[in-house]
Amino acid sequence: MSGWRDWAGSPQDLAALARLTSAQYPDAPITAEGIARHLKQTDSQRPFLVRFAVQEGREVAFVESYPLKNGTFLLELAAPGRPDLGAALLTHAHGWAQQRGAQAWEISVRTGDGRLEWLTAQGFSVQGGADGWKWAEPGQAALPPGVRAEPVGDDPGRQDKLRHAINAGRQELGLPPFDERGFTENVLEYGVLRPDLLWLALTRTDEVIGAATLHVWEAGAHAEALWLSVSPGWWRRGLGSGLLAYAASDAARSGIPLVSANSGHSQGHLIPLLQRAGFTPSGGWLTLRQSVAP
């Protein structure tokens, strides 16, 4: 064992993170150039940890962590075949996150992932599960006639319209509305900052009738569809599947190799919508959580 190396943003770091991340998620390979491009779109003030384990001059494992929301940090850990390295990296990341006010962290793994048993032994507990979907093709869905999709971007007015559209959907689900702070934490700053992947659906008269958001993870290798809202007057008219297909296609064209969505085990009604939008089943996911608080 040669030792450890912390992230410095060098070409070697970019290449190592791309190689190890692609090995962990072979269906979403990422390049060093892609990581560099997406890091430029990340808030430079956000705490960010990457530590590599180095053996004979080659990076063989890594841990990554950064804040998500409300004291929860994301965790990514890859140490194939080396639980000793995984334990050491986890211990280092635990102390790093504690120093930055983390209360807990979360890691998502596929069902059948070899890390699941090991993480459980380290004190992680399963907090929820979902069926995974991967965007494969445009599918049969399209925006209804007279409807257009426009990116929210950095425009405050459009961001406020997005908040109201999402809150309308949350109301239908019996969830409390986002205030401005909650919207910022849970939508605008959730994942890598990509306001171009937040969408509004508008009529010819500029009425907002829907919204969709994609959130980027894993150094730009993965965009996840999180929020989808459709005004009641447009239900069952193909707007939801058409808007989701439009957003997924745009993300794929921008160079993101994996666009995904999740449907909870009680959300069977989403399956036809996802299929029409061009998504295919990709296996289940589990979210594991562990307290980090002192």
Cα(20)–Cα(157) distance, integer angstroms? 40
Which value, to the nearest 10 degrees, does the dihedral of the CA atoms of residues 168, 169, 175, 176 take? -30
Mean pLDDT for the chain?
89
* pLDDT tens track for 6-22: 999 999 999 999 899 88
Q: What pLDDT, on a 0 to 100 scale, did the predictor assign at position 265?
A: 60
The answer to whether domain 3-129 and domain 135-283 are alike in fold is yes
* Highest CATH level, class, for 3-129: alpha beta
Q: What pLDDT, on a 0 to 100 scale, did the predictor assign at position 41?
A: 63
* pLDDT tens track for 211-253: 999 988 756 678 899 999 999 999 999 999 999 999 999 999 8
Q: Is the pLDDT of residue 267 over 80?
A: no
SS (H, E, C) the chain: CCEEEECCCCHHHHHHHHHHHHHHCCCCCCCHHHHHHHHCCCCCCCCCEEEEEEECCEEEEEEEEEEEECCEEEEEEECCCCHHHHHHHHHHHHHHHHHCCCCEEEEEEECCCCHHHHHHHCCCEEEEEEEEEEECCCCCCCCCCCCEEEECCCCHHHHHHHHHHHHHHHHHCCCCCCCHHHHHHHHHCCCECCHHHEEEEECCCCCEEEEEEEEEEHHHCEEEEEEEEECHHHCCCCHHHHHHHHHHHHHHHCCCCEEEEEECCCCCCHHHHHHHCCEEEEEEEEEEEEECCC
111: Cα separation from own chain's centroid: 17
* pLDDT tens track for 115-172: 999 999 999 999 888 888 999 887 789 999 999 999 999 999 999 999 999 999 999 8
CATH topology of domain 135-283: Aminopeptidase (3.40.630)
Which residues lie below 8 Å from residue 82, measured CB to CB, with a gap of 6+?
53, 60, 61
Residue spans per domain, the chain: 3-129, 135-283
Q: What is the pTM of this model?
A: 0.67
208: Cα separation from own chain's centroid: 25
